A = this chain, B = another copy of it.
Amino acid sequence: MRYLPHTPQDIDRMLKTVGIGSIDELFETIPKNLQRTTPLEIPPAKSEEEVEREFARLTGLNRAGEFLSFLGGGQYPHRAPRVVDHLLRRSEFYTAYTPYQPEVSQGTLQAIFEYQTLMCLLLEMDVTNASMYDGATACAEAALMSLRVLRKKNKVLIARSVHPEFRQVTKTYMVDQPECLVEVGYGPDGRLDRNDLKAKLDGDCACLIVGHPNYFGTLEDLPALAEIVHEAGALLVSTFTEPLAFGLIPGPGRAGADIVCGEGQSFLGDPNFGGPSLGIFSATEKNVRQMPGRLCGEATDADGRKGYVLTLSTREQHIRRDKATSNICTNQGLMALAATIFLSTLGKQGVHRLARTNLSKAAYLKKKLAALDGFSLAFDAPTFNEFVIRCDKVTPAEVLERLLKKNVVAGLALENDYPELDRHLLVCATEMHAKEDLDRLADELAAL
């Protein structure tokens, strides 16, 4: 076995040193009656070539490559420049552990420091941690953090227009008090319903969680929400699934958001069937000690040289155990690195231009679809690179099914997550869609 180095002679020598006669003696502390006597019933060992064949079989079962897709809804079609993967393939990055030993981990640490900075700049926030598992768990941790920051409060308001998976996971995480998670509706423009907010926002509320852009692709009026929420003594948590929007729109920090978190897959490129992705988590300086997750900070070494270390770890499980701000240990380090490389490559000009390209593509498609007979726009507030259309004549299920036959995945039906939106499709367009792709969707819908 090419990964297991010991030859029979090696084993003999080692057994002699250990002072035993056989490998089995090593397992003597395991009660005999628990030990297996037969091999496990799993497939037999394969050679490298056979492994490749098995994967050729599996990938052959996937047919997505033949389809033109307009799926967004939390994961967006973007492509990372090739240089990203070339760098991720550096053994020094991907085969290292969490940088516990800073003297031999300066590469990882400086990259995290750069990642933290990039996110702070993009989101206009003070502090960003080294990453969370994904946007949904980041959102859940934001709810919990809000409850820690405002320890006397016990309620979390969450907009119904926040990504359904964010809401579900947050609910799961609020294991102790699921009833304390209260939904706030949306208005006819697709934005948060302020009346509903005002009705629910009381002195027990630790925070309001909104999406910006929200699940319908719509931008919220963040400054207004911040004012309302802060007035009530609560925190504003602004989540996102499409951070590329912040290449064009102000970071939520500018409006006064206290926690900004969400999904960073757009900065990784391929969606990878939903993971590994990147949980981005930013907060204000003042609440840094209540943040979950690892933080990298600047430090000085014994020779007076600048460098980086993991810091403020008294918040963390390995020190604080059951008093830690979170249980997270392994995070999504390599994905944070990927985002750092991607964003560095894009740079100041690129991030703006790419965001604007997305806006242009989606605006073009939106206009085309809105003009179609039998389809209309569901909401009228501004959107970034996705939007909701209403299927006035044919049901969304039928639209999807009939277009699937034409090798088009037209979008995401909202009914599952929003029973009230039973005629609605979420449609996304990015820089990956050529004009002819957009025209094709419009034509196929027109032809229904």
Contact = CB atoms under 8 A, between A and B. Distances in A.
Interface of A: 2, 48-49, 79, 81-82, 86, 89, 345, 432
Top 3 closest pairs, chain A to chain B, by CB: A48-B81, A89-B89, A49-B79
Nearest to A432: B49
Contacts of A81: 48
Contacts of A89: 86, 89
Contacts of A86: 89
Nearest to A53: B434
Nearest to A89: B89
A49 B89 CA distance: 21
A86 B90 CA distance: 9
A219 B392 CA distance: 78
A82 B89 CA distance: 13
A432 B81 CA distance: 34
A254 to B, nearest CB: 28
Contacts of A82: 48
Nearest to A431: B49
A89 to B, nearest CB: 6
Contacts of A49: 79, 432
Nearest to A79: B49
Contacts of A2: 345
Nearest to A347: B2
A82 B55 CA distance: 14
Nearest to A345: B2
Nearest to A87: B91
A432 B47 CA distance: 12
7 contacts: A2-B345, A48-B81, A48-B82, A49-B79, A49-B432, A86-B89, A89-B89
A432 B50 CA distance: 11
A409 B435 CA distance: 41
Nearest to A49: B79
Contacts of A345: 2
Contacts of A48: 81-82
A88 to B, nearest CB: 11
A319 to B, nearest CB: 37
A79 B56 CA distance: 16
A89 B79 CA distance: 21
Which residue of A49, A86, A432 has the most chain B CB atoms within 10 A of its CB atom? A49
A383 to B, nearest CB: 24
Contacts of A432: 49
A79 B52 CA distance: 11
Contacts of A79: 49
A86 B94 CA distance: 13
Which residue of A2, A345, A432 has the most chain B CB atoms within 10 A of its CB atom? A2
A2 B347 CA distance: 11
A406 B81 CA distance: 40
A30 to B, nearest CB: 33
A6 to B, nearest CB: 15
A255 to B, nearest CB: 33
